């Protein structure tokens, strides 16, 4: 991987208790250390946006949806595909490639670098209108990533995942160049396997008393596995005030900030990687 992209933090720091159902009322949400807070404060001065995220514990999923007043009938359906080798070579190097189809809207593709140091990114890439640097912050951890997006038609995505069109056709010239710069030697876009799809329900709404818009995403993985994530996008300047406000609101609704924090992408990649490696049924 190019030395131009370095880790600010290897991954989101895990929450204190890995087992959601064993959590108790006395359990506190994981906290960043003083040094980590100073590091985060400096980092957010250099990014385009911040997304505050919380993975809701399995035993609180239905309670959280009801407590926030989210209406499932308002949900937008999304279909997400990832592309990697069966043993997730790209993911281990911090390179993510993805395509997404959105109900009632278009489709898009992304080449993402994670984690990154904003001031060490190439100036040309940083100046691209299609490239954004963002911090994902969750209880006890954070990660900084850079994503290069491009539009892609619904039909094109379906043709690619069905094997009727080369994978490189989903990505723009700028995305292909970024991929080639950071992918390991000998791995091209067309060599990657399709990991997906994951069907996602997403609701954007402003709960009473929250003071800001939230997004609720329910990721439905194979094998009846579900992951519910709450998030809100904020500017770097308002991140710390917004984090306190949202945390107080959620706790006031009885939604715990404790418990293991999972990422949607990592969960999807692990599941579909295992499925690719499983021997075919007779």
Which strand (E) or helix (H) includes residue 224? none
pLDDT of 127 > 90? The answer is yes
pTM: 0.88
* pLDDT band for position 92 (cuts 50, 70, 90): very high
Residues 6 or more apart from 234 whose CB is under 8 A from it?
49, 50, 51, 52, 212, 242
* pLDDT band for position 138 (cuts 50, 70, 90): very high
pLDDT tens, 196-237? 999 999 999 999 999 999 999 999 999 889 999 999 999 999
Q: What percent of the chain has pLDDT over 90?
A: 82
Contact, 195 vs 269, CB < 8 A? yes
Window from 22-26, 28-32, 251-255 with minimum mean pLDDT: 22-26
- Mean per-residue pLDDT of the chain: 89
Contact, 59 vs 165, CB < 8 A? no
Structure confidence at residue 3 (pLDDT): 33
* pLDDT band for position 281 (cuts 50, 70, 90): low
Distance CA 274, CA 225 (A): 14
Q: Give the residue carrying structure tokens 């990014």.
A: 47
* pLDDT band for position 17 (cuts 50, 70, 90): very low
Structure confidence at residue 21 (pLDDT): 35
Structure confidence at residue 278 (pLDDT): 84
């Amino acid at each position: 991987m190019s030395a131009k992209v370095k880790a600010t933090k290897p991954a989101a720091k895990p929450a204190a208790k890995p087992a959601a159902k064993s959590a108790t009322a006395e359990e506190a949400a994981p906290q960043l250390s003083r040094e980590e807070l100073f590091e985060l404060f400096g980092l957010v001065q250099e990014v385009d946006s911040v997304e505050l995220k919380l993975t809701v514990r399995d035993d609180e999923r239905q309670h959280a949806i009801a407590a926030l007043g989210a209406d499932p009938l308002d949900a937008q359906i999304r279909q997400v595909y990832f592309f990697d080798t069966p043993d997730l070579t790209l993911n281990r190097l911090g390179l993510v490639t993805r395509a997404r189809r959105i109900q009632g809207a278009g489709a898009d593709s992304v080449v993402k670098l994670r984690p990154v140091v904003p001031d060490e990114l190439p100036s040309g890439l940083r100046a691209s209108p299609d490239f954004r640097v963002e911090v994902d912050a969750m209880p006890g951890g954070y990660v900084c990533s850079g994503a290069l997006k491009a539009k892609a038609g619904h039909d094109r995505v379906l043709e690619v995942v069905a094997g009727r069109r080369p994978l490189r056709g989903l990505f723009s010239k700028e995305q292909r160049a970024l991929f080639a710069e950071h992918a390991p030697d000998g791995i091209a876009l067309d060599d990657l396997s399709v990991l997906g799809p994951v069907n996602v329900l997403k609701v954007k709404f402003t709960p009473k008393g929250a003071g800001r818009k939230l997004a609720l995403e329910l990721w439905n993985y194979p094998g009846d596995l579900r992951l519910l994530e709450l998030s809100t996008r904020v500017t770097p300047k308002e991140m710390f005030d917004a984090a306190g406000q949202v945390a107080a609101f959620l706790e006031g609704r009885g939604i715990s900030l404790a418990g293991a924090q999972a990422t949607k992408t990592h969960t999807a990649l692990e599941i579909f990687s295992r499925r690719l490696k499983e021997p075919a049924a007779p």
